[in-house]
Amino acid sequence: SQQGEEDPQALSIQEGENATMNCSYKTSINNLQWYRQNSGRGLVHLILIRSNEREKHSGRLRVTLDTSKKSSSLLITASRAADTASYFCATDSGTYKYIFGTGTRLKVLA
């Protein structure tokens, strides 16, 4: 079964707008990561947030983590057409492996 579930499954916005996607998970974690996948390509790491962190920034990306609600959100500010991709969260529960969610498909319209 999937540990992470992203919401929404698909999101379409205009260039310049902000995009927010959420990830919920079931068990306690050591850390949570977000990845991007362009169509037909492998996944690329975006950002990692540890279980004792609440918020992290990287460029136009802002990630929050609420361990009490077992959820995380990824905010992409001032989106660009090049941000069009699928976004996945992945959780590490300390078992030598990550569990990936089902992903959010983001489409940014120029």
Partner 1 sequence: NAGVTQTPKFRVLKTGQSMTLLCAQDMNHEYMYWYRQDPGMGLRLIHYSVGEGTTAKGEVPDGYNVSRLKKQNFLLGLESAAPSQTSVYFCASSWTTYYNEQFFGPGTRLTVL
Catalog residues that contact partner 1 under the rule CB under 8 A: 2, 4, 30-31, 33, 35, 40-45, 48, 50, 88, 90, 92, 94, 96-103
Measured CA to CA, the distance from residue 4 to residue 76 in angstroms comes to 19
Nearer to partner 1, 19 or 90 (CB): 90
Paired residues of 61 in beta bridges: 58, 76
Nearer to partner 1 among residue 59 and residue 96 (C-beta): 96
Q: How far is the CB of 86 from partner 1 (least distance, A)?
A: 9
Helix, strand and coil percent figures for the chain, each rounded to 5: 5, 55, 40
Measured from the CB atom, the residue of 76 and 87 that comes closer to partner 1 is 87
**Considering beta carbons, is residue 12 or 30 the nearer one to partner 1?**
30
Rounded to a whole number of angstroms, the minimum distance from the CB of residue 30 to partner 1 is 6
Write down the least CB distance from residue 11 to partner 1, Å: 16
Q: In whole angstroms, how close is the CB of 6 to partner 1 at the nearest point? A: 8
3-state SS of 69-84 is CCEEEEEECCCCHHHC
Torsion, Cα of 84, 88, 89, 91 (10° steps): -150
